[in-house]
Amino acid sequence: MKRTDKIILYSIFYIPAILVLCYFFWPVVFGKPTSELIKEDDLAERFSGKVESLYFDKQNHNVKIALLSNGYKYEIFRQWEPKIQVEDSISKKKGSFEVIIYKGNNRSILDYRDTYRK
């Protein structure tokens, strides 16, 4: 095979492979850490409503879901499962780590920062 043919073949196969690898590894090396992305997602979340039903979503690692009156599906952390019941009202403001639970005249606050690994 001629030298120019080899160069053309290598460029056809190796350059796209290198570009694909760079596409996937660039965020891993130079992107934000996973913990920072999780915190950003938690801060951006906003919801409020009355818990109409609770169920376990088997297709999503058996996570407990609170279906709110406005149709929002809130994924409950394992350590928070006993604290949220049907007929409770829950709300979270955008930019806050706190989830407020109203049970009749009582109010309790759950903090996302308690769920992060230290």
pLDDT along the chain (118 residues), means of 10: 84 90 88 90 96 96 96 95 96 97 95 87
| Same domain as 13, residue 64 | no
User: Residue 24: which residues within 8 A CB-CB, separation 6 or more?
Assistant: none
Range of the domain at 59: 39-115
| Same domain as 53, residue 8 | no
| Same domain as 15, residue 63 | no
| Same domain as 48, residue 15 | no
* The predicted structure's pLDDT at residue 118: 66
CB atoms within 10 A of CB 76: 20
Number of domains, the chain = 2
| Same domain as 101, residue 63 | yes
Q: d(Cα 34, Cα 91) in Å, to the nearest integer?
A: 25
Q: d(Cα 3, Cα 85) in Å, to the nearest integer?
A: 72
* The predicted structure's pLDDT at residue 4: 86
